[in-house]
Amino acid sequence: MRRPKPKSKKFKIQNRQAEVEEVELLESWIESGKPESGSNPLSLQPLPDKSPVGKLSNGSFSRYAGCENFSQLPLSKKTKDGLAAAKYKNMTDIQRASLPHSLCGRDILGAAKTGSGKTLAFVMPVLEKLYRARWGPEDGVGCIIMSPTRELASQLFEVLKSVGKFHGFSAGLLIGGRKDVDSEKEHVNDLNILVCTPGRLLQHMDETPNFDCSQLQVLVLDEADRILDVGFKKALNAIISQLPKHRQTLLFSATQTKSVQDLARLSLKDPEYLSVHEESETATPNRLQQTAMVVPLEQKLDMLWSFVKSHLNSRILVFLSSCKQVKFVFETFKKLRPGIPLKCLHGRMKQEKRLGIYSEFCEQRSVLFSTDVASRGLDFDKAVDWVVQMDCPEDVAAYIHRVGRTARYLSGGRSVLFLMPSEMKMLNKLEEKKIPIRCIKANAKRLQPVSGLLAALLVKYPNLQQLAQRAFITYLKSIHKQRDKEVFDVMKLPVDDFSASLGLPMTPKIRFLKQKVKGKTSEELSLVQEHTPVENLFEDHVESFGTGKFVEDKVEAEEDKGILLQKETQLGEKVTEIGGDVGLPATRVLKKKKLKINVHRPVGTRVVFDEEGNTLPPLAKLADVKSSSDLVQLDKDKVKQRFAELRTELKMADEEDKALDRKRRKEKRIKDKVKWKRGREDEETDTGNEEDVSAYDREETGDRVNKQVKIYFDSDSDDGERMIKDKKGVAADTLSLREQEELALKLLSSMHS
Ligand SMILES: Nc1ncnc2c1ncn2[C@@H]1O[C@H](COP(=O)(O)OP(=O)(O)OP(=O)(O)O)[C@@H](O)[C@H]1O
């Protein structure tokens, strides 16, 4: 391969001259187009002539305020080329609103719906600012872009690389979980742009010799409200204290902070608050169809399983509240082989694995079980079809970010939120924040119970039992720790039913809850929340939410073939598509599929499963039937029987333990008594030998011994002999008969005299 000819010196000088001229031109454009402080560029859109150089009617705003596409902005050729190469042409709302300001160097508080292009809105000003400042390798760190999660930081880094590929800046990704921190330390001082998470940046600030950010030009916080949240408070304060105050600061989020305290911490200078969708009817993307369902805690897994089985051709993102739950659901569902690849993502995974899973989910149609680590900012390459919130989000902001993983930019998407009866207040909160959500009900007939299968799995795989116990405890803890007590009440949870739904033979001990209820048993607890069937709950709910915003879709159960009951017209999807035959009860599915097996199955064919339990083509369908049939055939009776056996075994073991404990206590009591008796005898004969008495004995028996001694003297106080002993200090028993007679005579003579 021929190597490209090195550029001549003359070419380089010419090129540099052209750059200098371009920068001067850009600066003059920007200077002439600077908007007045406090102006709102949105109020002027669209401009009458849409000309990038046209004067505004009142002459007070940026002349770039009405631009529609990037070519109209005063951008360097390198940035324009980068944008063109990445096929970005027209600006989105937030880009149109913020770029005229941010390019002029003003501080920005940008808010816009999820998936609306906020990333470009801060990447471009970063490139332009450094370009116009003629930033070079020797100038060091010129810009820091911070994100709350590692995956998001990696994604931002990719966008920066693609749009800035014609620029000569050096950029680095600094995120935790990477082992090569030492090599990072060697190079970090040569980087111009850092894309990082707060923790790793602080680590470099603390540990890397000569790490210097004193020349910083731009600081960007993506998902700013999250980074300014308590979780990052200490790290962020420490970082900010090491940054120069004179800099440009850009904050972006779909749920932007307006807290004066937050802004003061960042020492923003007269920031421009740009909330482009504030006037919008909804706080979420228009193409997003949002639904909610009432699902009792003990039916959540059944519902999730049924949902996954009835959406085998979709890309589904499922949010759960803790790592332990993610692990449990992933591991058990994987063994049940739903017929679609399964993946999981949580903070306890190794970084390489996390990034691998993230990119696999971008490429492959699958179900990803995740904690909130995937809830913010991630822009999965191929559209996510469904976002399922198995556990209620902690607040409205968390809801907005979670559902925002679908329906991004121009694509559509759907979401479903499982709400327990005790969490219904969340719907009011969503409504208050302009989130249009429709209540739908589950098709109870299509529900595929999974707890029996889970119980069988737990018997077969003891490690799953541990996972289940941990998932159980952490879920309750997560509810207990939630700040919004109006929505989350751990006391209302049917704990025993929940435990059984995970396949556990007995409810694990819940220490923190026991303290809270002070002696209430778990049965009593479950009584707090009466068991109500889904349908009834839904009807209750419709009464209280029948204001028009929440629409109930009453569809005859007979008409529906899927797990979700929805009208065909409203979701633009055929009902059969939602459910298909996969939504049918297991036995009917088997009957149908068995027919197919008989026809198509080549004799002696092996069925191969991959690591995640997915069947490999061309026998995927066949194997699905086999796998599910295997499990269904795990003989429900057998499972029940084993379940009962396990219960009796545990009960017997419990009884044995109790008996042993009783015996031990009895023995100890006897031992103590014997010791105490001995102690008393010793006291009576020789009170001086205290060293033989243990501290415990002294504590427990000391008082009693003293009392006895005291009583002994009290009761014998009328005893003449004792009186004599007391007075003389000599025991009367020890005197001889002659001595006694002498003593008596002395006494008599003294009485007469
Ligand atoms: N001007 C544009 N033209 C075409 N596509 C764009 C444009 N700007 C952004 N996009 C695309 O829109 C999608 C969403 O963009 P981005 O990730 O920046 O959204 P966001 O507002 O930051 O979302 P979130 O709030 O979830 O972080 C991306 O796939 C991006 O490539």
> pLDDT band at 68, cuts 50/70/90?
confident
Residue 736's pLDDT is: 64
Residue 749 is which amino acid?
S
**400 Cα to the center of ligand 1, angstroms:** 16
569-606 pLDDT, tens digit per residue, is: 333 333 323 333 333 333 343 344 333 333 333 444 44
**259 Cα to the center of ligand 1, angstroms:** 26
Whether 151 is in the pocket of ligand 1, judged by its Cβ within 6 Å, is no
What average pLDDT is seen over the chain?
75
**Look-up: residue for tokens 């000819």?**
5
Count, residues in the chain: 753
Residue 69 has pLDDT above 90, yes or no: no
Residue 701 has pLDDT above 80, yes or no: no
**93 Cα to the center of ligand 1, angstroms:** 11
Helix (H, G, I), strand (E, B) or coil at 343: strand
Q: Looking only at Cα atoms, what is the longest distance across the chain? A: 147
Mean pLDDT in residue range 491-514: 88
Whether 377 is in the pocket of ligand 1, judged by its Cβ within 6 Å, is yes
> pLDDT band at 270, cuts 50/70/90?
confident
Query: Whose alpha carbon is nearest atom 23 of ligand 1?
Result: 115
Give, for ligand 1, the residue of 108, 120, 149 to mutate: max count of ligand atoms closer than 8 Å to Cβ.
120
3-state secondary structure labels for all residues of 83-130: HHHCCCCECCHHHHHHHHHHCCCCCEEEECCCCCCHHHHHHHHHHHHH
Whether 119 is in the pocket of ligand 1, judged by its Cβ within 6 Å, is yes
**Residue of higher predicted confidence among 531 and 11:** 11
**116 Cα to the center of ligand 1, angstroms:** 5
85-122 pLDDT, tens digit per residue, is: 999 999 999 999 899 889 888 899 999 999 999 999 99
Whether 115 is in the pocket of ligand 1, judged by its Cβ within 6 Å, is yes
Query: Whose alpha carbon is nearest atom 10 of ligand 1?
Result: 117
**394 Cα to the center of ligand 1, angstroms:** 25
Residue 2 has pLDDT above 70, yes or no: no
Q: Which atom of ligand 1 is nearest to the CA of 379?
A: 17
Residue 177's pLDDT is: 82
**Residue of higher predicted confidence among 195 and 69:** 195
**Residue of higher predicted confidence among 146 and 641:** 146
Q: Are 417 and 291 in contact (CB under 8 A)?
A: yes
Strands of the sheet with 272-275, listed across from one edge:
171-174, 193-196, 143-146, 218-222, 248-253, 108-111, 272-275
**115 Cα to the center of ligand 1, angstroms:** 5
**409 Cα to the center of ligand 1, angstroms:** 6
Query: Whose alpha carbon is nearest atom 4 of ligand 1?
Result: 88
Whether 116 is in the pocket of ligand 1, judged by its Cβ within 6 Å, is yes
Give, for ligand 1, the residue of 70, 96, 118 to mutate: max count of ligand atoms closer than 8 Å to Cβ.
118
Residue 396's pLDDT is: 96
Residues 6+ apart with CB under 8 A from 259: 228
Q: Please report, for residues 170, 189, 326, the alpha-carbon distance to residue 211 in angstroms, rounded to integers and kept in the order given.
A: 16, 6, 38
Residue 674's pLDDT is: 82
Residue 495's pLDDT is: 92
> pLDDT band at 714, cuts 50/70/90?
very low
pTM of the shown model: 0.69
**Residue of higher predicted confidence among 405 and 50:** 405
Residue 598's pLDDT is: 36
Whether 413 is in the pocket of ligand 1, judged by its Cβ within 6 Å, is no
Provide, rounded to the nearest whole percent, the portion of the chain with pLDDT above 70: 66
**Residue of higher predicted confidence among 303 and 694:** 303
Residue 443 has pLDDT above 50, yes or no: yes
**Residue of higher predicted confidence among 42 and 142:** 142
Query: Whose alpha carbon is nearest atom 5 of ligand 1?
Result: 88
Whether 409 is in the pocket of ligand 1, judged by its Cβ within 6 Å, is yes
Residue 85's pLDDT is: 96
611-669 pLDDT, tens digit per residue, is: 554 544 443 333 343 444 444 454 566 667 767 777 777 788 778 888 888 888 888 88
